[in-house]
């Protein structure tokens, strides 16, 4: 997993390939709480859905056990929901949304209240996008499978993102910490 760029501004990660993107998703999943909104931005094919899959599968199932399942892109259904801890996850792909008001038909008001909501194409929500959120923007690089991720958080995401500045520890070390 690439280390974050320490310059001021958004927290940036160089992601040399899909495994690094999945690693970042796992680290963010460990910080997620019910009521969180994670807005995924970037061009078609940049890896937003791959990130969402890894994020969702990094969260434990309702019984607390690891739970990997197929996470299809919700491009045509617009929303998929998953039973996870610490809260249900709603994965929205709003690419086909024509007007922000159409999102009410998806039940977003309910989701914003208690679920972890991961949104691809969040700009389609306009003013309905909650101001308290994590914005994660993926961009292509000159290396074919590499990506850059820039994130900014508002609300309590600001303090939670500080933990991402720390080097990632192998899982075995985390289990052995006091």
pLDDT at 169: 61
pLDDT in tens, the chain (178 residues): 454 554 457 899 999 999 999 999 999 999 999 999 999 999 999 999 999 999 999 999 999 999 888 888 887 789 999 999 999 999 999 999 999 999 999 888 889 989 999 999 999 999 999 999 999 999 999 999 999 999 999 988 988 998 888 766 655 444 444 4
Domain assignment present for 4? no
Query: What is the reported pTM?
Result: 0.87
Rg, Å, the chain Cα set = 16
Domain assignment present for 7? no
Residue 19, CA distances (Å) to 2, 3, 5, 97, 127 in order: 10, 14, 18, 30, 34
pLDDT at 175: 41
Domain assignment present for 1? no
Read off the DSSP letter of residue 125. Answer: G
| CATH for 135 | 3.40.50.300
- What residues make up the domain containing 34? 12-163
Domain assignment present for 44? yes
For the chain, what is the domain count?
Answer: 1
pLDDT at 42: 96
pLDDT at 7: 46
Nearest in space to 38 (alpha carbons), one of 138, 166, 140? 138
Domain assignment present for 174? no
Q: Alpha-carbon distance 36 to 117, whole Å?
A: 6
Tokens representing 49? 């859905």
Domain assignment present for 3? no
Domain assignment present for 49? yes
**What ranges in 18-168 are assigned the alpha helix state H?**
18-29, 48-58, 108-114, 157-162
Q: Alpha-carbon distance 172 to 87, whole Å?
A: 25
Return phi, psi of residue 52, to 5°. Answer: -60, -40
Domain assignment present for 175? no
How long, in residues, is the chain? 178
| Tens-digit pLDDT profile for residues 96-109 | 999 999 999 988 88
């Amino acid at each position: 997993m690439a280390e974050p760029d320490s310059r001021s501004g958004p927290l940036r990660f160089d992601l040399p390939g899909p495994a690094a993107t999945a690693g970042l998703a796992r680290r963010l999943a460990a910080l997620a709480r019910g009521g969180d909104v994670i807005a995924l931005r970037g061009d078609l094919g940049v890896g937003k859905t791959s990130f969402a899959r890894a994020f969702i599968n990094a969260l434990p199932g309702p019984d607390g056990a690891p739970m990997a399942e197929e996470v299809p892109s919700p491009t045509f259904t617009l929303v998929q929901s998953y039973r996870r801890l610490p809260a249900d996850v709603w994965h929205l792909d709003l690419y086909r949304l024509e007007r922000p008001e159409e999102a009410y038909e998806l039940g977003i008001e309910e989701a914003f209240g208690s679920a972890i909501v991961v949104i691809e194409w969040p700009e389609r929500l306009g003013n309905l996008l909650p101001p308290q959120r994590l914005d994660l923007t993926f961009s292509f690089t000159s290396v074919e499978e590499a990506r850059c991720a820039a994130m900014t958080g508002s609300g309590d995401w600001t303090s939670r993102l500080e933990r991402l500045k720390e080097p990632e520890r192998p899982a075995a070390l985390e289990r052995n910490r006091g």
